[in-house]
């Protein structure tokens, strides 16, 4: 079993930055892909960014150039640096982990005011 603990959400104004963290723990941490999804009210959950164990990344078009995903494999932790935040980035952000199974964090709220 793998547990995911997110942190770093909050309320910011448009144009400001936030950094999310997600730490994975458990007895079965292995080679994996991790990333971030988000879900805004009334919308489907969507991919934000993913990063492989080797550091390959993929981003949603809506965040390219503004968000950066990174990871520290020694700490089993990934980060999402979010710059130039927009009101449309407001959502609950979920950490995602996949090896032979998929695991989700509980989510952290990001609110961007205009």
pLDDT, tens digit (0-9, with 9 covering 90-100), for 17-71: 999 999 999 866 668 899 999 999 999 999 999 999 999 999 999 999 999 999 9
Q: Find the mean pLDDT for residues 75-80.
A: 95
Question: H or E segment at 103?
Answer: strand 102-104
User: What pairing do the DSSP bridges indicate for beta strands 108-113 and 10-13?
Assistant: parallel
Model confidence pLDDT, tens digit, residues 1-16:
899 999 999 999 999 9
CA–CA dist 37, 47 (Å, integer): 4
pLDDT at 60: 98
Instruction: Identify the three-state secondary structure at position 74.
Output: helix
């Amino acid at each position: 079993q793998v547990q995911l603990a997110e942190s770093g959400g909050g309320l910011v104004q448009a144009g400001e930055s936030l950094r999310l963290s997600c730490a994975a723990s458990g007895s079965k941490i292995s080679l994996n892909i991790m990333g971030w999804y988000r879900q805004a009210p009334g919308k489907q959950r969507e991919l934000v960014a993913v990063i492989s164990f080797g550091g390959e990344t993929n981003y949603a078009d809506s965040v390219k150039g503004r968000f950066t995903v990174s990871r520290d494999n020694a700490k089993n932790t990934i980060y999402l640096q979010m710059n130039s935040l927009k009101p449309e980035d407001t959502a609950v952000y979920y950490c995602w982990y996949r090896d032979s199974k998929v695991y989700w964090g509980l989510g952290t709220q990001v609110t961007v005011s205009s």
